[in-house]
Amino acid sequence: MSKTLKIEDLHVSVEGKPILKGVNLTIRQGEGHALMGPNGSGKSTLAYALMGHPNYTIDRGAVTIDGLNVLELEPDQRAKAGLFLAFQYPTAIPGVTLANFLRHAVTNVRNPTRKEGEELIPMRQFRKELNEHMESLGFDTALARRYLNEGFSGGEKKRAEILQLSMLRPSFAILDETDSGLDSDAVRVVSEGIARLVGPDMGVLVITHHERLLEYNKPHFVHVLLGGRVVETGGGELAHDVHAHGYAKIREKYPEAAAEEEEMDPKRRELEPAAR
């Protein structure tokens, strides 16, 4: 049976400031979704709130996986429930190699009742799996011996992320691709990687400004966030449209959301290039 991740009327504030004002999104396993929206519209806020980041306060609304209340779970329990957030471990962890980290993560996700200190999956079996995954993704196995995220380039971080997804096989993956510094090779690695991984058993939400990131993995649904709400949902053509025309058309079409946006950050529009 395919699982469903449901976000209903989600209101989130950061440091007392309301950012999300009633977000509704439904993602089923096997579906590819893209979330777009102007800078500051709250895309990352949504991702952080789903992860359970302590700075993001849920004021109202529900997030469920097949009825299970995700918001009540600790971040590690969210992972065990099948939710994966790409930036779950954004900071470098010196002394812990990517392989070591993955061995723990894979063990925990496969064996949700495991207590800290109990057996990890056997080294030989893990190595074999790790190498198979890296090979099929075309990654250099040396990356797995590096300390997690320490000195990783943008492209290497993305590879590590895709490798985690490939080995952990979450039911739902939320990928916040804010890094506009990716070169075109890295963009290709990420989008091809995602395209390979989205399958009947994985639902993916990619947060991105880059239409190119969607080139290799055409999303089934594209959503636009404005003024704290998802104002428009469409197919791949919506991403194309936003890319070609910017958000001006969307703002015209949804004046109330545009007014909310203006209220949230009055200086923002002055800073935006006129062409957008």
Site string for Mg ion, 41-80 (x = CB under 5 A): --xx------------------------------------
Among 150, 179, 265, 272, indicate the residue that binds ligand ATP (CB under 6 A).
265
Judged by CB, which is closer to Mg ion: 52, or 82?
A: 52
Which residues, numbered 159-178, are part of the site for ligand ATP (CB under 6 A)? 178
The yes or no reply on residue 155 touching ligand ATP (CB under 6 A) is no
Is 42 an interacting residue with respect to ligand ATP (CB under 6 A)? Answer: yes
Query: Sign of the C-alpha dihedral, residues 219, 209, 163, 102?
Result: negative
Confirm if 191 and 213 have CB atoms less than 8 A apart.
yes
* Of 20, 32, 18, 41, residue with least CA distance to 247: 41
**Candidates 38-46, 211-219, 235-243, 251-259; binding stretch for ligand ATP (CB under 6 A):** 38-46
DSSP conformational letter for 225 = E
User: 61 phi and psi, to 5 degrees?
Assistant: 105, 180
CA separation for the pair 265, 141 (Å, rounded): 45
- Contact with ligand ATP (CB under 6 A): which of 3, 4, 14, 196? 14
Q: How many residues bind ligand ATP (CB under 6 A)?
A: 14
Query: Residue 56 has which token pair?
Result: 């993001």
Query: Cβ of residue 3: shortest distance to Mg ion, in angstroms?
Result: 26
- Is residue 14 involved in binding Mg ion (CB under 5 A)? no
150 binding ligand ATP? (CB under 6 A): no
252 binds, among Mg ion, ligand ATP, none (CB under 5 to 8 A by kind): none
Site for ligand ATP contains 45 (CB under 6 A): yes
Say whether residue 178 binds Mg ion (CB under 5 A). Answer: yes
CA–CA distances in Å: residue 70 to residues 62, 177, 265: 8, 23, 30
CA-closest candidate to residue 42, choices 173, 227, 180: 227
| Segment near ligand ATP (CB under 6 A); pick from 33-41, 95-103, 125-133, 231-239 | 33-41
Q: Where are the beta strands (DSSP E) in the chain?
A: 4-14, 17-28, 32-36, 56-65, 68-69, 83-85, 93-97, 147-148, 172-176, 203-207, 221-226, 229-234
Interface residues with ligand ATP (CB under 6 A) are 14-15, 19, 37, 39-45, 55, 178, 265
Interface residues with Mg ion (CB under 5 A) are 43-44, 178
